[in-house]
Chains A and B, each alone.
Chain A
């Protein structure tokens, strides 16, 4: 990175941190909702976990709208972050345009989800519903927006830790959309657990994205640490909050509900070891001047392999271990390459911040 710090307006810096807060709230609600569905079962649509989830979406949506309006009305030099002029009026920095669209989609699909549950009830075990699929994809868009917002920053140590925390949250949070999409795409593959492929691909994409963005061993390793904090924190919170909430509204726990943290099996707990290993590989590759794309691909393959091994050993998904292992490793390698390509594009976001501000018209 250049020693010259790109100028980023305060509204975008503050906006990135509030996006992080909004997504952390959303993810907390989502993990709590999953625990609630398993241990107790929904009372109605307006449960506390649902409200938390949508409060997070609201924070993201309002933040994005505020940043876009402030960018539009700002005096002086326009923002250096790549931006789009919407309807010839609104100047929207990309991360906040994407985040706003994701939040809008999230709220629209929330409306359709309310309708779905009124018509069909609350059984969600039979497979992904159309409204949950839309919600999952919209939330994934919000995740990408949060990563984009921090990819633009990365100027100070605090901002880089912000990126690491965003990545930690994104890794656990991506399980929903990637799991559903992979179940839709790979269901026909014999012997393979489609969900394992999806989670492996998510881990691979995000890990190689961090390697490509930061080009340093510290930050892939740091995302392992932030992931431990996110998964550990939510594993402590969700079962306790579920028990407390069930008592508070007089709902009994299910007979077989062990109140065990579902977040621990929602994504491999062994992932931080892969992140550390990816950090080690990066350090080695930097010293030996190995082509970084190879390291991104290798880290992706490792993330896929780890996911297949974790669920193979856990034994909660029906799969042929060898077939799933090979498929997840291959897909992880491919997604690792994709993560590197995305990082190349995202790095231009902050590099362009050093040049003359420009905006494109949409």
Chain B
């Protein structure tokens, strides 16, 4: 009786499909697919800022078992490989979606960023039993955090300007030494 009660509590307590990354997903979007089985896209940052890292989860209705997910990330300037990522498998321009490392029940991309500000297009294709369904999600990347990139680059490169001048000056000053050294194998 006690065992049955405990099982009943467990059955109630654990939902059939736990939401991925509880406490981390702060926003979701639903993508309508051509076969009528939508994909829920989860974001760990919202709004998405250009250049700022975040995790995405992609959860097709009915789960990922037996399905292959592909997403082509088109940047605002038209780069069809806009999202780079470090260890990604690609089929043409499309990323073959991996399972999210901390939520293996769904597909996901961890520690990635959208490098350009503007409207991105995530073009989805889900393959199941030889049938492919498609859908598109526009993702708005707002202005990047921090100072403008030009300022960051200028500050980072500034210390190297005197180094370049010193090295160039030293190179010119030692020209006589270098030209005076007779090329030989001795020594």
Chain A residues near B (Cβ < 8 Å): 1-2, 37-42, 105, 109, 112, 116, 119-127, 130-131, 133-134, 137, 215, 251-257, 285-286, 289, 291-293, 340-341, 344-345, 347-348
Tell me which residues across on chain B come within 8 A of A109, comparing CB atoms.
156
In the assembled complex, B111 has its CB within 8 A of some CB on chain A? yes
> Are B177 and A253 in contact, CB atoms less than 8 angstroms apart?
no
> Are B177 and A292 in contact, CB atoms less than 8 angstroms apart?
no
Q: Name B157-185 residues within 8 Å CB distance of A.
A: 157, 159-160, 174, 177-178, 181, 183-185
Contact string against A for B residues 67-111, beta-carbon threshold 8 Å, 1 for contact and 0 otherwise: 000000000000000001111110000000011111010000011
Query: What are 11 contact pairs spanning A and B, CB under 8 A?
Result: A41-B111, A42-B111, A120-B113, A120-B145, A122-B53, A123-B85, A215-B184, A252-B102, A257-B87, A292-B185, A345-B177
Whole-angstrom distance between the Cβ of B182 and the nearest chain A Cβ: 10
> Are A130 and B99 in contact, CB atoms less than 8 angstroms apart?
no
A-B contact count (CB 8 A): 106
With A130-B153, A285-B185 already in contact, the answer to whether A345 and B146 are too (CB < 8 A) is: no
In the assembled complex, B11 has its CB within 8 A of some CB on chain A? no
**Interface core residue of B100, B156, B160 (most chain A CB under 10 Å):** B156
Tell me which residues across on chain B come within 8 A of A41, comparing CB atoms.
86, 101, 110-111
Chain B residues near A (Cβ < 8 Å): 51-54, 84-89, 98-102, 104, 110-113, 115, 144-146, 149, 152-153, 155-157, 159-160, 174, 177-178, 181, 183-187
Whole-angstrom distance between the Cβ of B134 and the nearest chain A Cβ: 23
> Are B101 and A131 in contact, CB atoms less than 8 angstroms apart?
no
Partner of B112, one of A119, A123, A251: A123
Q: What is the chain A residue whose CB lies nearest that of B85?
A: A125
Partner of B110, one of A124, A254, A340: A254
Q: How far is the CA of A41 from the CA of B110 in the complex (A)?
A: 8
Q: How far is the CA of A341 from the CA of B153 in the complex (A)?
A: 31
Q: What is the chain A residue whose CB lies nearest that of B180?
A: A344
With A127-B115, A252-B102, A254-B101 already in contact, the answer to whether A105 and B159 are too (CB < 8 A) is: yes
With A130-B155, A253-B101, A344-B178 already in contact, the answer to whether A119 and B145 are too (CB < 8 A) is: yes
> Are A126 and B84 in contact, CB atoms less than 8 angstroms apart?
yes
Tell me which residues across on chain B come within 8 A of A134, comparing CB atoms.
156-157, 159-160
Tell me which residues across on chain B come within 8 A of A289, comparing CB atoms.
185
> Are A121 and B156 in contact, CB atoms less than 8 angstroms apart?
no
